[in-house]
Amino acid sequence: MALFNFRLQKLLDIRTEKEEESKRNFKEAQGQKDKVENSLNNMKQNYSRYNSVTVKEDVVQQKIRRNYLYALNTSIDEKTIELNKKIIVLDKKREELKEKQIDRKTVEILKDKKKIEFLDIEKHVEQVQNDEFALYGYIRNREGR
């Protein structure tokens, strides 16, 4: 029985490699987005914690608190913009990954079809050989009588 040799195996290997690289890029972009998202959530928690005004504070402490809240609010706005950019990058990486998976699967499906075709041909050749052996055996038995 002959061995199956897929002529586009190198192409399949290259596309698989590109898909793996795209997966790594996607995971990296996901990690960066998660990091920015966590930072933004921490800032929002700090803002909500220090947003309440207490009666016990004097004017200086209230002014310091107000300045801190203003700076925190500005940072929250900047982080929100950064998060939106990271989400856009993540979506772009996701689309690239889908594209790479489609490319790989296209060649993989082609390989599967070629392998099935190869196996069908092998089965046919084997069946023809078995039929010939059976015919030779039948003829030999008929002549021997």
20-79 pLDDT, tens digit each: 999 999 999 999 999 999 999 999 999 988 887 677 878 888 888 889 999 999 999 999
Which residue segment(s) compose the domain that 61 sits in?
9-144
Does any domain span residue 20? yes
pTM of the model: 0.77
Q: Is 136 within a domain?
A: yes
Reported as a single tens digit per residue, the pLDDT across 96-130 is 999 999 999 999 999 999 999 999 999 999 999 99
Tell whether 91 is covered by a domain: yes
Residue 22 has a CB neighbour count (10 Å cut-off) of 21
What is d(CA 26, CA 94) in angstroms, rounded to the nearest whole number? Answer: 6
> What CATH number did the domain enclosing 86 receive?
1.10.287.1700
Within-domain flag for 3: no
Please report whether residue 4 resides in a domain: no
The residues near 107 (Cβ < 8 Å, ≥ 6 apart) are: 8, 11, 12, 15
Is residue 1 in some structural domain?
Answer: no
How many independent structural domains does the chain possess? 1
For residue 76, CA distances in Å to 38, 81, 137 come to 12, 9, 88
